[in-house]
Each structure stands twice: as structure tokens, then as C-alpha cells.
């Protein structure tokens, strides 16, 4: 760029030097021509003046000589008349006399501006007048007194003296004038020679200057021709470049008419020649709804501002196009105003692509899956409405943020493996644990696809996440149910066999008690009987867990049952445990075995007590609940219908997720040896399922546990039967 600027500066300097040199030589030529003109004019004026002087001198000499000759002719004619008295001589005399006077007057006029000559004429004229008077007197005497009278006068000295004085004055005048005439002619010759020399010198100088000017002009014209050729070539190259430009380039006048347009513009306008468009209003092809905006843009550009506008136009063959114009002002150097230079490109495909993208985005937003795009730096680039619904974050809240900070609290090995695999193979599929905006943990089935640049480098990662939290919970419930069913079947078989083994032992103990009456034997046998019965009770619990106990079902009210549980808690539980019971009066009834339901609640509250060794709050609540289709899908054991939900909550130590997966397994316990058999919750679960209900558990380590038991509510017909039974009992009483 610096080299180009330097070359441009050198060209500008050379051009300025040539122009200044041409100006200097032109001024010098003008000065020389003016000087030559002044000198020539001066010489010409001098020559003319000298020639006029010579002419005047020549005329004076001529007139003096004419006076001399006329005076001589007058005297000759007068003498002839005096001698001959011939009338013709008298006429000749009179004509000569008149000629003499005329010549004197002409001479007076010729010398009117010459004071010296006027003095000479003032001396000559009286003498001539006197001489003529004498000649006239002589004629008069001749006519009146005769020749003799005149002879005396002619011979007198006076007549001769005047004639000599006239001749002397004329002679002196002629000699002086002839000298002046000779001097003037010499001066004229000198001036002529000087003028000729000056002319030749000026001609030579002018020729040199003309040759120099011609050379400079020829060089300048040649330079101009070269510049014009270069400019034409540059213009052709520029025109070729403009025509090769894939965008429409237009030059628009201040009045809105088209001045110039390139080949791409002609193709967009759908015309073959620019003559169809030049001089026509450019907004004729713009749809009416965009013309006002285009007029405002044109007005702003003509005031020196830039602008951009998108509009729709119709070509001369009816093709609709979306156009984007970038308008810049172009200064008109002649008057300093601005005209409109427009670079317009066809964005029809872009608009169609944007419309397609919007449609695709709408489809993406309709999708229930969370679809998001992030770059290789994990910055979020796209976030659909499915992601908003799943995670709770609005798109504008997470756009540009790090996806790891939004959805994950820590980077797990599974997440690192997923990232490495999608970079290496281009895709990955698997399950991830993520967090919502509220901090809830969800499980998603995630499908990652790597998007690359045109050069093959990784660009971004497309993730499609489907929430499977409920599915995983149902699967876990199903697996747990299948496992418990298998364990129950096994436990039932073992219990049956053990029961068969314990039965003869118990019978033998009872026989031995009758045959061995001594106290020591009775004590041993009683211990053996107690252990056998304890084993039988244990087997009974196992059988209750395994296949349930079919007892007589009655309509059970929960409020009295809760009152008994509250009394047991108040009498047996430590005072550090505060019990809160919330049982509504309008609670529905359930159909079941009240003893078994009592056993379920006792197991739950005892577990709650054991989870709070340092005290806490034990809360028991119940409510009426109707489970719909959606809620029924969450739990595999749930069915659509009316339920009574009994909630037992403690503020104890809580359980980990691993422990929660096994709490309903028989013989599984976290208590110390001798403090639990591990059959309490498994038996309670068997009783709840035997009543057609199910149970949910929610627990966090250090924050307590919540058991929710769902028991089917009794129907109206069962409730009506209960009322009839109560009435009959009252009647019998």
C-alpha cells in the first residue's frame, strides 16, 4: 500500500511539474511576444512618425519650390505684360499671382504645428506680399503712364532688394528643409533596418518558443493520449470487473433515475440492454409497500449518509426477488452534492432458507425432545422449546453460556467419554444425569452428532435429549418387583420346608414336656418351645411377605387406627421425637385387614424412630387422592382410581440411593445386629400390595425420609354396607 501511494505521489508530482513547466514557458512566450509586439509597435510608430516628418518636409519643400516657381512665373508674366502689354500675359500673371497666394496658404497650413517654420513664413509672406504689390503697381503704372514710367521703378534698388531677400529666404528654407529631409530619410532607413533586425530576432525567438511549445504540447498531448488510453483501459477493466461482480451495482441520480448499472443488474432486472433502464425511475420495479422506505433511504444517501434496506422487486419478466441493498453516498465533484451508489444482492435463496429454517425451528420447537447445539467450546448456540420445557431455562437465558455449567454440577467420566467419542467417531448415544433449573436430577437418553466445517474441522455438537427419568423409575420398580417376587417365591418355599421341619420338633417338645416333669428339663424344653415358636412366627412373616395372608376384609376407618398409633408413639417413643399428626375428618374408607394395616404403620413409625436417634420430628398425614392416567404411568403398581395416601415423614439421617434400592428386600437391614431382622419393610410391602396399593419412598442423606402408602379407597357400595351393619348392631343392642 505504501508503494502504491508512493507511485501515485510520484505521478502526481511529475504531472504537476509538467503543468507548471508548460505554464512557465507559455507565460515566457507571451512575454516575448508582447515584448516583440511592443518593440515592433514602437519601431512602427517611429517609422510612421519619421515618414510623416519626411513627407511633411517633402511637401514643404514642394510648396516652397512651388512658391518660388509661381513667384518667378508671376514676375515673368508681369515683365512680359509690361513689355508687350499683351492681355494673355496679364492673365498668366494673374493666374501665377493667385497660385502664389494659394501656395503660401498651403504652406502655412503645412507648417501650422512648426513654430520655427511659422516664423520663417511670417518673414517670407510679407516680403512676397510686398513684392506682389510692387508688381501690381508696375502693372498699374504701365497701364496708366506707359512703359517709361515703369522702367524707373523696375530699375530701382528697392525692387531688386526685395527680390533678393525673397530668394535668400526661399533658398535658406529649401536648404534647411532638404537637410531635414535627408536627415529624416536617414533616420527612417535606420529605423527600418532596426525594425527588420528586431523582426528577424523576434521571429527567431518566436520560432524557438513555438518549437518548444510545440514540443511540450506534443509531449503533453501524447501524455494525454496515453493517459486517455490508460484511462480507457482502466475504465474497461473496471467495467469488466463491475460486470463480473455477482452483485447488482447501480448509480442513481438525485431525482431517483438510473445513471449506470452493471451486467448482473441487467440480469436481475431481466433486460438485455441498459438503454431500457437508463434515465428511468429505479423504484418502478420495487413493490409498492417498499417504495416509501426506499425513498427515505435514497433521500438519506443524497444527504451524505449510508444505509441498508431489504425489499422485494418484480423483474420485467415477472420474477419476484428479495433484494438487500447497501447504499453509500458518492460525491459529485462538480457541485459537491451526493448521488446514490447502490450495491444490491439477491437474497431470495437466503430468505427461502431462512423460511425453511424457521419452519424447521418450528418443528424442532414442536418436538418434545430437548434439542440443543453447542460449539466445540461448549457454548450454547441453539436451545429449542423442548429444552425450555425440560430444563426450565429460557433460550435467551442460556444462549452463549457453557452447557457444562448449566446442566451439570460436575464432569463425570461418562460425560468425558461421550465428548471424546463424538469428537473421534462423529456420534455418541447414551444416558446422562442432568440438572434442571430447580436443581432436580433427571435422566436423559442423549444422542450427540458432530457437525464439521467445510474443511473437516469440528464445528459444533448437536444433542437430542429425551427424558427417561420416569421410564428408569418404572424399570427400577419392575426390576425390584421381579426381584422381590423371586425372593418371595424362594422365601415361601424355604419357609414352607422350614415349617415342615419345625412342626415335628414342636410336637416332640410338647411330648417331652409331659414325660419329663422335672424343673430343669421343663426349663430346657420351654426354651426350646419358645425358640421353635419364634421361628414359626418368623416363618409366618416370611409367608406373609411371600404370598400374603388372606384374612377377612372389612371397611376400615383410618382415623381410629391413627389414634392408636399416636397413643403408642406417645407412650413408647423418646420425648426427643415430636409427633405431628394431620388427619382430615372427611377421609375416605379403605377395605382391608385392620391388624395388617396396623402392622404396616407400626413398622413405618418404628423405622422413623430408629432413623432419629438424637430426636427430630415425626409427621403422619393422610389425604384423599385421585390418580389419573398420567400418575398411573409413573408407578408400575398404580391404577387409575381413588386412593388414600398415608405419608410418614421423619427428619432423620436419610438413605442413599443404593440403600433405597434394597430396603424392601427380605433380611436386608442397615440396623445393628440384634436390632432388626430385615423383614419389616418387606412384610409391610407384601401387606400393601395384598391390599391393592403401592408405596413410594423419597429420601436424602442427612435430610430425612418420606414413605407414602397408597391404599385404594372403598367404593360407595362398601361404605353403604358398612352403614347397614352399624345400624343392625345398634338395633341388636
* pLDDT in the model for residue 541: 59
Distance between CA atoms of residues 649 and 607, nearest Å: 10
Q: How confident is the model at residue 151 (pLDDT cuts 50, 70, 90)?
A: confident
* pLDDT in the model for residue 178: 76
Res. 15: pLDDT tops 80: no
Of the two residues 542 and 296, the one the predictor is more confident about is 296
pLDDT in tens, 576-597: 999 999 989 889 999 888 878 8
C-alpha cell, 324: 438487500
Burial class (CB in 10 A: 0-12, 13-18, 19+), 407: buried
Which residues are within 8 A (CB) of 533 and not within 5 positions of it... i.e. 6 or more apart?
Answer: 506
* pLDDT in the model for residue 44: 75
Most confident of 62-71, 225-234, 252-261: 252-261
pLDDT in tens, 289-306: 999 999 999 999 999 999
Mean pLDDT of 261-288: 88
Res. 249: pLDDT tops 70: yes
Most confident of 238-242, 646-650, 687-691: 646-650
Of the two residues 370 and 178, the one the predictor is more confident about is 370
Helix axes 594-610, 558-572, angle to 10 degrees: 40
Res. 719: pLDDT tops 50: no
Of the two residues 548 and 26, the one the predictor is more confident about is 26
Res. 617: pLDDT tops 90: yes
Nearest to 631 by CA among 488, 439, 473: 473
* pLDDT in the model for residue 539: 63
Range from 146-160, 399-413, 504-518 carrying the lowest mean pLDDT: 146-160
Res. 455: pLDDT tops 90: no
Of the two residues 15 and 662, the one the predictor is more confident about is 662
Distance between CA atoms of residues 573 and 575, nearest Å: 6
For 595-660, give the secondary structure using H, E and C.
HHHHHHHHHHHHHHHHCCCCCEEEEEEEEEEEECHHHHHHCCCCCCEEEEEEEEEECCCCCCHHHH
* pLDDT in the model for residue 492: 61
Q: How confident is the model at residue 728 (pLDDT cuts 50, 70, 90)?
A: very low
Give the predicted TM-score (pTM) of the model.
Answer: 0.36
Amino acid at each position: 500500500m505504501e508503494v502504491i501511494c508512493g507511485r501515485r505521489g510520484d505521478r502526481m508530482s511529475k504531472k504537476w511539474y509538467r503543468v507548471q513547466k508548460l505554464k512557465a514557458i507559455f507565460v515566457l512566450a507571451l512575454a516575448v511576444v508582447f515584448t516583440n509586439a511592443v518593440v515592433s509597435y514602437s519601431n512602427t510608430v517611429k517609422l510612421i512618425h519619421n515618414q510623416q516628418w519626411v513627407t511633411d518636409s517633402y511637401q514643404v519643400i514642394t510648396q516652397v519650390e512651388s512658391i518660388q516657381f509661381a513667384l518667378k512665373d508671376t514676375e515673368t508674366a508681369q515683365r512680359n505684360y509690361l513689355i508687350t502689354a499683351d492681355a494673355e500675359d496679364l492673365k498668366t500673371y494673374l493666374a501665377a499671382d493667385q497660385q502664389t497666394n494659394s501656395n503660401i496658404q498651403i504652406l502655412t497650413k503645412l507648417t501650422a504645428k512648426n513654430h520655427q517654420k511659422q516664423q520663417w513664413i511670417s518673414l517670407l509672406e510679407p516680403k512676397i506680399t510686398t513684392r506682389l504689390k510692387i508688381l501690381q503697381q508696375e502693372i498699374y503704372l504701365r497701364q496708366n503712364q506707359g512703359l517709361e514710367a515703369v522702367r524707373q521703378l523696375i530699375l530701382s534698388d528697392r525692387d531688386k532688394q526685395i527680390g533678393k531677400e525673397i530668394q535668400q529666404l526661399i533658398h535658406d528654407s529649401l536648404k534647411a528643409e532638404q537637410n531635414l529631409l535627408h536627415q529624416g530619410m536617414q533616420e527612417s532607413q535606420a529605423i527600418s533596418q532596426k525594425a527588420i533586425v528586431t523582426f528577424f530576432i523576434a521571429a527567431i525567438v518566436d520560432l524557438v518558443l513555438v518549437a518548444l511549445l510545440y514540443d511540450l504540447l506534443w509531449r503533453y498531448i501524447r501524455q494525454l493520449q496515453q493517459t486517455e488510453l490508460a484511462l480507457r483501459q482502466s475504465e474497461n477493466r473496471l467495467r469488466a470487473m463491475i460486470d463480473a461482480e455477482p452483485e447488482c451495482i447501480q448509480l442513481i441520480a438525485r431525482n431517483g433515475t438510473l445513471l449506470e448499472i452493471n451486467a448482473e443488474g441487467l440480469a436481475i432486472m431481466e433486460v438485455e440492454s441498459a438503454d431500457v433502464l437508463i434515465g428511468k425511475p429505479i423504484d418502478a420495479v420495487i413493490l409498492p409497500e417498499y417504495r416509501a422506505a426506499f425513498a427515505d433511504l435514497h433521500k438519506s444517501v443524497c444527504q451524505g449518509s449510508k444505509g441498508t434496506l431489504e425489499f422485494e422487486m418484480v423483474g420485467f419478466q415477472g420474477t419476484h426477488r428479495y433484494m438487500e441493498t447497501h447504499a453509500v453516498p458518492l460525491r459529485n465533484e462538480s457541485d459537491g452534492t451526493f448521488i446514490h451508489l447502490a450495491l444490491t444482492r439477491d437474497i431470495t435463496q437466503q430468505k427461502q432458507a431462512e423460511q425453511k429454517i424457521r419452519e424447521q425451528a418450528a418443528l424442532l420447537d414442536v418436538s418434545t425432545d430437548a434439542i440443543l447445539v453447542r460449539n466445540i467450546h461448549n457454548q450454547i448456540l441453539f436451545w429449542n422449546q423442548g429444552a425450555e420445557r425440560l430444563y426450565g431455562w429460557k433460550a435467551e437465558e442460556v444462549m452463549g453460556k457453557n452447557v457444562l455449567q448449566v446442566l451439570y454440577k460436575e464432569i463425570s467420566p461418562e460425560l468425558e467419554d461421550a465428548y471424546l467419542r463424538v469428537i473421534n467417531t462423529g456420534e455418541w448415544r447414551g444416558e446422562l444425569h442432568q440438572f434442571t433449573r430447580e436443581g432436580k436430577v433427571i435422566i436423559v437418553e442423549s444422542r450427540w452428532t458432530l457437525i464439521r466445517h467445510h474443511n473437516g474441522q469440528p464445528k459444533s455438537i448437536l444433542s437430542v435429549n429425551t427424558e427417561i427419568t420416569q421410564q428408569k423409575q418404572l424399570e427400577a420398580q419392575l426390576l425390584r418387583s421381579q426381584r422381590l417376587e423371586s425372593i418371595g417365591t424362594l422365601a415361601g418355599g424355604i419357609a414352607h420346608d422350614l415349617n415342615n421341619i419345625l412342626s415335628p420338633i414342636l410336637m416332640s417338645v410338647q411330648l417331652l414336656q409331659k414325660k419329663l416333669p422335672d424343673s430343669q428339663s421343663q426349663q430346657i424344653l420351654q426354651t426350646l418351645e419358645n425358640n421353635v415358636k419364634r421361628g414359626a412366627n418368623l416363618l409366618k412373616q416370611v409367608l406373609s411377605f411371600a404370598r400374603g395372608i388372606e384374612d377377612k376384609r372389612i371397611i376400615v376407618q383410618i382415623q381410629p387406627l391413627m389414634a392408636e398409633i399416636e397413643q403408642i408413639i406417645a407412650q413408647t417413643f423418646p420425648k426427643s421425637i415430636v409427633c405431628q399428626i394431620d388427619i382430615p375428618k372427611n377421609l375416605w374408607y379403605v377395605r382391608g385387614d385392620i391388624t395388617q394395616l396396623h402392622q404396616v404403620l407400626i413398622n413405618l413409625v418404628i423405622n422413623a424412630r430408629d432413623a432419629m436417634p438424637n430426636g427430630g420430628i415425626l409427621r403422619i398425614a393422610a389425604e384423599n387422592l385421585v390418580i389419573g392416567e398420567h400418575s398411573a404411568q409413573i408407578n408400575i403398581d398404580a391404577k387409575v382410581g381413588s386412593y388414600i395416601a398415608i405419608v410418614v415423614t421423619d427428619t432423620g439421617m436419610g438413605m442413599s440411593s443404593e440403600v433405597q434400592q434394597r430396603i424392601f428386600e427380605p433380611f436386608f437391614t442397615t440396623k445393628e445386629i440384634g436390632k432388626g431382622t430385615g423383614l419389616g419393610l418387606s412384610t409391610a410391602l407384601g401387606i400393601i400390595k395384598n391390599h391393592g396399593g403401592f408405596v413410594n419412598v423419597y429420601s436424602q442423606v442427612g435430610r430425612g425420609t418420606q414413605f407414602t402408602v397408597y391404599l385404594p379407597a372403598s367404593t360407595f357400595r362398601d361404605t353403604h354396607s358398612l352403614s347397614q351393619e352399624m345400624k343392625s348392631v345398634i338395633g341388636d343392642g
